[in-house]
Amino acid sequence: MFTHLHTHTEYSLLDGLSKIEPLMERAHELGQKSLAITDHGALYGAIEFYQAAKHHDIKPIIGIEAYVAPGSRFEKDSKQRWPYHLTLLAQNETGYRNLLKLSSASHLEGFYYRPRMDRELLEAHSEGLIALSGCPSGEFMTALRNDDEAKAREVAGYYSDLFKGRYYLETMEHGIEQFTKLMPDVFRLAKSLDLPTVLTNDAHYTTPDQHRAHDVLLCIGSNSTMLDEKRFKLDSDRFYLRSEAEMRALFPDHPEAADNTQVIAEQVDINLTFGRTMLPDPGVPEGMTAREFLRQLSEEGLRRRYPHHTDAHLERLHYELDVVAQTGFDEYMLIVRDIAQFAKSHGIRMGVRGSAAASIILYTLDVTDIDPLEYDLVFERFLNPERIGMPDVDFDFADDRREEVIRYTAEKYGRDRVAQIGTFGTLGAKAAIRDTGRALGLEFNAADRIARMIPDHLNISLDESLKQSTELKQAYDAEETTRDLIDTARQLEGVSRHTSTHAAGVVISREPLVEVVPLQRATKKDADEETALPTTQYAMAEIDKIGLLKIDYLGLTNLTILGRAVELIERQRGERVDLLRIPDSDPATAQLLSDGETFGVFQMESAGMRRYVVELKPQNIRELSAMVALFRPGPLEHIPTYIDVKHGRAEVNYLHPDLEGILAETYGVITYQEQVLQIARKFAGYSLGQADVMRKAMGKKIASVMLEERVQFLEGVAKLGYEQRLGEQLFDLIEPFAGYAFNKAHAVCYGTIAYHTAYLKAHYPVEYMAAVLHAANGNSDRIAPGIAECTRLGVPVLQPDVNASEANFSIERLDDGTDAIRFGLAQIKNVGLGGVEALIDERNARGEFVSVEDFARRVPAREMNKRVLESLAKAGALDSLASRAAMITSVDRVLSLAQQEQKLRDTGQTSMFDMFGDEVNTPLPGLELTEEIIPLPQLLAWEMELLGTYISEHPFRAASLRLAPYVTHQAVELTEELGGQDAVIAGTVVNVRALSTKQGKAFAAVTIEDLSGQCELTFWSTEYDAAKSRGLLFEGTVLLAKVAVRPRGGRVNIAALEICAYDYDAGRLAADFVPTKFTIRPGYSRAPQGAAPALPNPPGGPPASPGGLPGGPREGRPDRPDLRLVPPSTDREESEAHVAVPSATHRPGIGGPRRLLITMEETTDEAADRRRVSRICAALDECVGDLPVELCFRVHGNEMRFARGGIDPTRLESLVPRLRAFLGVLGDIAEVGETAEDAPVRREASFVAVGGA
């Protein structure tokens, strides 16, 4: 009998192709009774291999193809970059544990390009191991390749002494001449040294037909292509799992080499034990058991959590304690408590996710703040006595403090007993296509085109993609290159590509981890730090099987935001907000959600979720939890039913009246897994534990299992006296939901966080948005929309300033008593924390910088290099010292003075002026700033580049006011939800990419930016040629564009249909503008010319009339003033409403009495119009005074004006930015009339002059 002892699987990452299950099937087909796994340098697949082999009745031999350093493993010499190979096989459990230690040490101590062990380690851990001399890269074979027989004898002698009776010289034959010619020498030396030989095949793939696919895999791993003749490759097609006959035919004169494989296999006897729980000591007081301690703490917590507890509370607690005792997880609960206690005692905001919130024990231990009885949460989803397995507590911690909890865990339980958990990235369908295409030498666009045809479904395979995507199937059938690409990618699909650190998983062991699991270095930026925890080579599933305690420590940004916001509220207002005590069903929070103001609200930000939240109008945590649960593939289709029933637009038809008690909470829609369990208990007599076993089984969608469960369910229905037909209907009802229904405990946890974020945003918008921006931490993709949201909320955002900014975003009180958010210095691109910490310390210690010279003398020149200083100047952070243009052009002079001052400080140089002390500076050359004019667009471009957004002014703002009557959507609104519709947008061209189709036709991708953000328009050949001929596609051009929004391959394609340029100088669209070309089909166009504007209806009230518009009153506010229609007057130029525009198009002031004129464009979105007017009126109600207010509604050339009370003119400074934010591009505000200046209301932070003055 022959046994393969040198076998690589997919866990020889990007080198081995064999997946373990097909490998076992092939070995079984070949009649082999034992098989070894020997992956390169790691034991990643050992447990999976062991269990698969047992399943196929094959003896598993766990091994490794080790890398052995030529000298010490601690030496990192580039001359010794290539270590030797050595095949090691575990003979027994002792050998297996030694493999764990050797592999761990090679990664943690010897890693240099590869994980290397050395002779010192081998000598310490050789017991229970069988060694083979290795492939041609082994130390023995390398000596023979170098024609150094003496060295070969020395190497063989060393290892044969180290592995007494367990060392074999490895013989191979793959048809590669340079190695084939060495085999006679191997047999000769073996006889001379009296050492046994063993026949192996360096199997890297399973079957011969996988040779080409394996070659492609090597190209992916080496970043080369099949077109490169010098690429790394195996120069033979024989590296597969060969039959015994094939192997014995290689060396017919040496049958003993093949026979020795069976000798080795018979020596191997490994029995790994699974299912044990190896929990560490949680710190139980002396004289008590863990069970007694847990009961004591839980009962104390029950009295604290429920001061007026009932028998029901006690019964639930004692039931859970009994289940925990029965399953043996008392220590687990105490460990979880210990971790939560540390976090809370150190002010680290935390929560749990998953089913843990269903436990009253964890509620009484203060691990969770969700009352499981209040929300009717099912404990059996957390710990089921009928399906015993390790419970699963997943923690959420504020993401900026997660590492503190991990450090505490390591210090408490031992650094050698705590690690993070490894995971593997695999080649999914799209990745397989793209990587294979690159390896085959295809152009990126060619492979990307095919990848985009793959449906965006989680874990979809290429075979399934061919069934679902007609476009993909047509390309596969018609294009030979595509067919080859897909067929090759199929063989690579699902193969492990790389290892990484699990985002959350932490493992805690009772004994040193190297005794039970192999470790490796953390695969992240701090992997070389001594304090970094290692990661396990085994993935999460294998950790479970071994019986180690694993806990997820997840970092959640929204918890960081909540904590930061609460701190800011206390600092700014002196209020201490306890989120556990805020009222549920708060009106202001409900209104914010109903209005769809969900930016920054946890789980509620996506466009789809926002739309449903607006329709649902959730009032409390329960309804938010339901939305969290339903907004997923599968249940998503039931959201309209949920909403319609809630609002009385539909009725629930229960299959049986007994369902009402289970489904009434969710308006008749099965939303939670717990409801599936309760249905099974109510109608089939299942215990909740049995029902959860059924739910998990049903979720696997295995036909035989489903049939078995159906029979059992129907039997239970009959026993309880229900009709069989009802039972069949119920089973059919719950069957799909068993697979995708949501865990209610998890939904409530996340619904609670969502509610908390919405509450703070509704009541403390400045502090909350400051926390949101603070948490963005330099991410411009988050900062830009965050600042846009601040603008919309009327929260001023101030530009960075060396005399006012902190490192991150901060709150600053303005002269009028209102609060604003100040941009942080470290959030400027190219600056960073290191560049500004010393600057801020200097300012805080000695006061503000009073001049450029003062700044240059005091700034720490070591940290303030030219790049940092230039970025500060271009971002406007030095505007308080001199004009921006002057600072930008004088960076070198400022830096030179700073360096001279730094040199004096460093050298301790003194002068006669030192007798006067610190009050007099040593004379240095003065600074003469150059006054050069820099165009405003350039200044704004730098601002966008360095801040990720515009703070001072947006270059498109002036044009946007003129184009607003034609615009139907903003750039960020062109999402998949508009698929199949047309829209009209306007914006500035910021980028043009010329491309070509597969047929060689030219087209372009043009990035357009408006005040909301950016989108990419596709100009297909016809439109592209026309636009080029008109000279319109240049950066800086402002375009009005009619576009078609089309979903395509999981993304949105926005195709330009019509465009027209905006003439900045003339303040109007180009002369060739034809309005009819920019109308869109009914339902999405603006009101027709000549139509009177439709006034929005007030929320919950009758239609608006000239007697009143929405805007109040809100609780605690006075009644709003009535709106009175303003009749036309000859003293006013009715069609010339004052709008803030560039001076070239400035219009004369409007006559009549002095007043504040608010001009609004009506849109086709009535709900949005209503919200906009309501916000404006509410803001006006806060500033009641004598300055009259006039509202003007405009639809193209038609206007309706209303007078609405008055405001306090001293409040204009703070009020106008808020009102302008509400209006956006759909209107403007100006002070007009006989005594008003003939100029628009001043804009915050606008440039007074460019280049000085």
- Domain count along the chain: 7
- Whether residues 159 and 262 share a domain: the answer is yes
- On the question of pLDDT at 1136 being above 50, the answer is no
Is 1134 strand, coil or helix?
A: coil
Amino acid 1125: pLDDT? 53
- Whether residues 326 and 390 share a domain: the answer is yes
Q: Per the omega criterion (within 30 degrees of 0), is the bond before 1113 cis? A: yes
Q: How far apart are CA 800 and CA 780, in angstroms?
A: 15
- Whether residues 1045 and 982 share a domain: the answer is yes
Q: Tens digits of per-residue pLDDT, 851-908?
A: 888 888 888 877 788 899 999 999 999 999 998 998 998 888 888 888 887 787 777 6
Give the domain range for residue 695.
Answer: 633-741
Q: CB atoms < 10 A from the CB of 1165, how many?
A: 14
- Whether residues 639 and 619 share a domain: the answer is no
- Within 13 Å of residue 808, how many CA atoms lie on the same side as its CB? 13
Amino acid 1234: pLDDT? 62
**Residue 972 and residue 1049 in contact, taking contact as beta carbons nearer than 8 Å:** no
Q: How far apart are CA 118 and CA 601, in angstroms?
A: 54
Which CATH number does the domain housing residue 1031 bear?
A: 2.40.50.140
- Whether residues 310 and 370 share a domain: the answer is yes
Residues 6+ apart with CB under 8 A from 975: 607, 1052
With respect to residue 213, please indicate whether it lies within any of the assigned structural domains.
no
Angle at 888 between CA 882 and CA 893, to 5 degrees: 85
- Whether residues 1072 and 992 share a domain: the answer is yes
Q: How far apart are CA 781 and CA 784, in angstroms?
A: 6
Complete DSSP assignment for 341-381: HHHHHTT--EEEEGGGGG-HHHHHTTS----TTTTT--GGG
- Whether residues 731 and 592 share a domain: the answer is no
Higher-scoring residue by pLDDT: 1071, 204: 204
- On the question of pLDDT at 18 being above 90, the answer is yes
- Whether residues 1062 and 1154 share a domain: the answer is no
With respect to residue 814, please indicate whether it lies within any of the assigned structural domains.
yes
Tokens standing for 261?
């494989």
User: Measuring CA to CA, which residue among 536, 547, 546 is closest to residue 505?
Assistant: 536
**How many angstroms separate the Cα of 166 from the Cα of each of 195, 422, 1077?**
10, 32, 85
With respect to residue 325, please indicate whether it lies within any of the assigned structural domains.
yes
Which CATH number does the domain housing residue 609 bear?
A: 1.10.150.700
- Whether residues 1073 and 1093 share a domain: the answer is no
Tokens standing for 783?
């900062």
Which CATH number does the domain housing residue 195 bear?
A: 3.20.20.140
> Which of 947, 980, 1015 is at the close of a domain?
947
> Which of 1078, 1103, 1124 is at the close of a domain?
1078
- On the question of pLDDT at 924 being above 60, the answer is no
Higher-scoring residue by pLDDT: 865, 1239: 865
With respect to residue 409, please indicate whether it lies within any of the assigned structural domains.
yes
**How many angstroms separate the Cα of 470 from the Cα of each of 433, 463, 488, 1007, 1055?**
17, 12, 20, 30, 22
pTM: 0.78
- Written in H, E and C, the secondary structure of 1209-1239 is HHHHHHHHHHHHHHHCCCEEEEEECCCCCCC
With respect to residue 218, please indicate whether it lies within any of the assigned structural domains.
no
Task: Enter the DSSP assignment of 668.
Answer: T
With respect to residue 456, please indicate whether it lies within any of the assigned structural domains.
no
For residues 1215-1237, average pLDDT = 73
Q: Give the confidence band of 150 by pLDDT, cuts at 50, 70, 90.
A: very high
With respect to residue 986, please indicate whether it lies within any of the assigned structural domains.
yes
- Whether residues 544 and 615 share a domain: the answer is no
**Residue 653 and residue 631 in contact, taking contact as beta carbons nearer than 8 Å:** no
Least confident stretch, 185-199, 367-381, 709-723, 937-951: 937-951
Identity of residue 688: L
Amino acid 1241: pLDDT? 41
User: Measuring CA to CA, which residue among 792, 852, 841 is closest to residue 1176?
Assistant: 792
For residues 976-992, average pLDDT = 87
Mean pLDDT over each residue of the chain, to the nearest integer: 85
Least confident stretch, 391-400, 581-590, 738-747: 738-747
Amino acid 957: pLDDT? 80
**Residue 163 and residue 131 in contact, taking contact as beta carbons nearer than 8 Å:** yes
- Whether residues 176 and 143 share a domain: the answer is yes
- Whether residues 616 and 688 share a domain: the answer is no
With respect to residue 447, please indicate whether it lies within any of the assigned structural domains.
no
> Which of 896, 926, 947 is at the close of a domain?
947
Q: Tens digits of per-residue pLDDT, 172-194?
A: 999 999 899 999 999 999 999 99
Instruction: Determine the straight-line distance between the first and last CA of the chain, rounded to whole angstroms.
Output: 94
